[in-house]
Amino acid sequence: MTSKTVDMKIESNIALQADTEVEANPDVDQPQLPTDKTRREPQNQYAYNRDYRFWSIILALCTMQILCSLENTVVVTSLPTIVKQLGLGSSYIWVTNIFFLATSIVQPLTGQLAGLFGRRHVALSVVAIYTLGSGVAGGANGPAMLIAGRAVQGAGSGGMTAIMGIVISDLVPLRLRSSYQAILAMTYAIGMAIGPVVGGAIVQNTTWRWVFYINLPFGGVSLVLLWLFLRVKWDKETKIREKLRRIDLTGNSLLVASTVSVLMALTWAGSEYPWSSYRVLVPLIVGLAGLVGFFCLEGSTWVLEPVMPLRLFSNRTSAIVYANTFIISMLNYWIFFFLPLYFQAVQLSTPTRSGIQILPITLIAVPGAAVGAVALSKWGRYKLLHIIGFAFLAAGIGSFSVLTANSSTAEWVCLQILPSVGAGMVLDTLPPAFQAGVDEADSAAAAASWSFVRSFGNIWGVAIPAAILNIYSSQYAADMITDPAARLALQNGDAYSSATRDFVESFPEPARGQIIEVFTRALSKVFLIGIAFPALSFILSFIEREVELRTTLETEFGLEGKGKIQS
């Protein structure tokens, strides 16, 4: 018996088992079919065969994931040093937020381009863009060039994040996707784990420029693998001019403008201007109104092929997953960017050591992701995973508020277990839940839209806790710090860039102890306020409905040379 025949029988058994489970569980909803107005063309069915090309593509996606995750966290421990050496001051927030902004706004467009011009060309382009941005950021001679490089990097990173989800949707049936997303999650965890350590080591032992140059060899490997193996079918007949006309330029433009407006408000709030200032409120209100207008436009008859069609959110579960994706993405960066501040500003760790100290939260996420993936593939049920995961996250992020300068190693290690396991269980089981309620033809748009929401949440996950840190640091500094220079440094929106061991140790006692106490209390507020968000997701998860996860592989972008299943 050939391996192909074995694979076909295995998949047939899986499909039969899934059908039996649905019949035995009437509470499991069938996917909602699109209405006549939105009905899509039926997709071709392909055999789910895992040959050498399949695994080569998975390897290529893993190299892309390393690029994304490494750059997301390598600046966590190195950013305070970069801010100081380039003299960014309160503009430091743009180094992270411009990256997240560019990451989020390109993802819906990436999904549309991948449908028009094929996965391979888009994948190669976004990796090349990311690599170019890394070179620009590494060679920066001033704040403007660094921020520009980060913007280019972000555009490439967003494109890679979107295309990875799209390619997985082309290769793997929905029921089994979480297993391969777990592989990518483990790769992501490796990048997240080594990123802070690498970033801290670089700024301590060599120039900070290698924080960005380190991406160049990874980008080269990824380009080679994608060029050799990512060869999937796509529409080669339609003329380029006709394809360009199908791009939702109006929707994309409105989405970009609205997201930029929101980002400007979040960047200025608390550092440049108070939250009550019209300079913050006006762009924030305009941006949020623009996002509402964007969704109204996408649901109108004016746009023939919307970049983010509203049918993706037409059922309750998809809408809830949309909201919970935003929240968990925000929480991930809430923790990853502000837990190292505790280690550097309160426990006076070096950047390298602070990177090592947050290793538990990255490494423990791997078994959490594995549990979620195995459970979802075996039983096809995600609701309970989300409820448990968000409960762990709420308890975990709140527990960080008890950390002080005297907290033991055992204490801060153990406190990282709950949020890590919770995030691992939730994050990679959200995309299948989101895609389950939409037609298979919309899988690419759903993957790109989910990636957009995830990246948009990252922006808020840095901006909101930064604003909280600045507000409370300023209040506590006014009451507790006697040294005028130290007090002034923490009252001008510079609390984040001042949260380093070098800054704290530059002051003698008693100012040093006072600064540590200010950071301890301010960071405690950061984590306490953070409880509200996973608590909301915990409640929303109860409203989700279980939707059947499909076991057939339907796509217009199957691997070249693989035959379709005849109906």
Q: What are phi and psi of 553, to 5 degrees?
A: -105, 110
Banded pLDDT at 3 (limits 50, 70, 90)? very low
pLDDT reported for residue 527: 95
More confident: 367 or 536: 536
pLDDT reported for residue 556: 56
pLDDT reported for residue 90: 63
Q: Show Cβ contacts of residue 404 under 8 Å, excluding neighbours closer than 6 positions.
A: 346, 520
Banded pLDDT at 30 (limits 50, 70, 90)? very low
Helix (H, G, I), strand (E, B) or coil at 100: helix
Tell me what the mean pLDDT of segment 305-312 comes to: 80
Distance CA 170, CA 150 (A): 30
Cα torsion 290, 296, 302, 305: sign: positive
Residue 236 Cα to chain centre, angstroms: 32
Helix (H, G, I), strand (E, B) or coil at 85: helix
Element (H, E) at 101: helix 93-105
DSSP state of 562: P
pLDDT reported for residue 2: 44
pLDDT reported for residue 440: 66
What residue type is 227 in one-letter code? W
pLDDT at 7 over 50: no
List of domains in the chain: 49-233+240-247+307-546 (1.20.1250.20)
pLDDT at 309 over 90: no
Question: pLDDT (tens digit, 9 = 90+) per residue, 185-238?
Answer: 778 777 777 777 777 777 777 788 888 888 888 888 888 888 888 877 666 677
pLDDT reported for residue 551: 57
Distance CA 133, CA 98 (A): 12
Residue 141 Cα to chain centre, angstroms: 29
pLDDT reported for residue 375: 75
**Which residue, among 397, 436, 370, 333, has the nearest Cα to 536 in the 3D structure?**
397
Share of the chain above pLDDT 70, in %: 83
Question: pLDDT (tens digit, 9 = 90+) per residue, 391-444?
Answer: 999 999 999 999 999 999 999 999 998 998 888 888 778 877 777 767 766 777
Tell me what the mean pLDDT of segment 169-179 comes to: 73
Tell me what the mean pLDDT of segment 296-302 comes to: 83
Largest CA distance in the chain: 81
Distance CA 403, CA 346 (A): 9
Burial class of residue 217 (count of CB atoms within 10 Å of its CB; 0-12, 13-18, 19+): exposed
H-assigned helices in 415-554: 417-427, 430-436, 443-480, 484-489, 495-498, 501-505, 511-530, 532-541
Structure tokens at 566: 């005849």
More confident: 415 or 173: 415
- Given its phi and psi angles, is residue 30 left (phi above 0), alpha (psi -120 to 50 degrees) or beta? beta
pLDDT reported for residue 523: 94
Contact 433/321 with Cβ under 8 angstroms?
yes
**Which residue, among 117, 78, 109, has the nearest Cα to 209 in the 3D structure?**
78
pLDDT reported for residue 549: 67
pLDDT at 565 over 80: no
pLDDT reported for residue 560: 53
In this structure, how many other beta carbons lie within 10 angstroms of the beta carbon of residue 505?
A: 11
pLDDT at 558 over 70: no
More confident: 543 or 24: 543
pLDDT at 6 over 60: no
Distance CA 538, CA 408 (A): 30
16-28 burial, b at 16+ Cβ within 10 Å, e below that, comes to: eebeeebeeeeeb
- Given its phi and psi angles, is residue 564 left (phi above 0), alpha (psi -120 to 50 degrees) or beta? beta
DSSP state of 269: B
Tell me what the mean pLDDT of segment 342-371 comes to: 81
Question: pLDDT (tens digit, 9 = 90+) per residue, 56-82?
Answer: 888 888 888 887 777 666 776 677 778
Distance CA 114, CA 119 (A): 5
pLDDT reported for residue 250: 87
Q: What are phi and psi of 142, to 5 degrees?
A: -170, 170
Distance CA 484, CA 515 (A): 12
In this structure, how many other beta carbons lie within 10 angstroms of the beta carbon of residue 150?
A: 28
Instruction: Give me the residue label for tokens 């301590």.
Output: 204
pLDDT reported for residue 235: 65
pLDDT reported for residue 36: 36
Tell me what the mean pLDDT of segment 338-363 comes to: 84
Tell me what the mean pLDDT of segment 116-121 comes to: 83
Question: pLDDT (tens digit, 9 = 90+) per residue, 472-485?
Answer: 988 898 888 888 88
Banded pLDDT at 29 (limits 50, 70, 90)? very low
pLDDT reported for residue 459: 76
pLDDT at 471 over 50: yes
pLDDT at 49 over 70: no
Share of the chain above pLDDT 90, in %: 18
pLDDT reported for residue 305: 80
Q: How far is CA 133 from CA 138, 153, 263, 451, 460, in A?
A: 8, 4, 20, 20, 23
More confident: 17 or 82: 82
pLDDT at 533 over 80: yes
pLDDT reported for residue 218: 83
pLDDT at 544 over 50: yes
pLDDT reported for residue 270: 64
pLDDT at 561 over 60: no
Lowest mean pLDDT among 90-99, 260-269, 544-553: 544-553
Beta bridge partners of 495: none
